[in-house]
Amino acid sequence: MGTKYNRFAVAVDQLAKSRFNDYQSEKIVFDVARDNYESYPEKTGASADYAARAAEYKAKYLRAEADFKRVKAALLDSVREVDSIRSELEKAVAESYKAKPGEVDAGVATLLAAGIMTDREYSDLVDEYIKSGNYTMARLTGAAAAKAAERSGSKEEQQRLRAIGHRGMENPAGRILSNFDSLRYAYERTAKNPSMIKSWEQLTAEAIQNF
């Protein structure tokens, strides 16, 4: 099950399949044109029919070669499109994890300030806010749990509260972007070595689905 950022990984996959299909289609045309051209090399003193066929195949080969070079260059250049998708992802992640006053639950904030909650209550609240996408309250709750750890006289309780505090205040932006960069790396490697195109889905399907 993917996260709400799955659409960015899907965008890379769609780009890959489009660009890779263009490359493979053009390569088929180029290979046929090259084979025909090599089968009819230009010969001095050849018949008019042979000469015409050889000229036709040469012209088709030269066009196919130019088109194939263009598609190969476009494939390599498309890595920039992946970088553009990453920029949009980075903005979306930053926006999601930015503290927003409108997301503050005043009643819970009062309880957090009072310091009367148990480690279980802190934990449940953190999980609830992370699940609902309210990272402002997740961070507030995590910070309150960390402060509660400082006040606790029990080492075991301190450890639990610190772990809860870390979970609530964690900003997963680095992990999310790192996961995307792994996908980008696979794309770039494939663009530079098109023989890997056939392995694209095998290499990336699970990562894209779970992104």
Tokens read off for 62? 């030269």
Residue 2: which pLDDT band, with cuts at 50, 70 and 90?
Answer: low
Torsion of CA 172, 177, 179, 182, to 10 degrees: -160
Euclidean distance between CA atoms 118 and 82, whole angstroms: 46
Q: Within a 10 A sphere around the Cβ of 57, how many other Cβ atoms? A: 20
* Alpha-carbon gap, residue 15 to 77, rounded angstroms: 12
Q: Is 70 exceeded by the pLDDT of residue 1? A: no
80-89: per-residue pLDDT in tens? 999 999 999 9
Q: Is the dihedral of CA 188, 192, 195, 197 positive or negative?
A: positive
C-alpha 89: how far from chain center = 8
The pTM for the full model equals 0.79
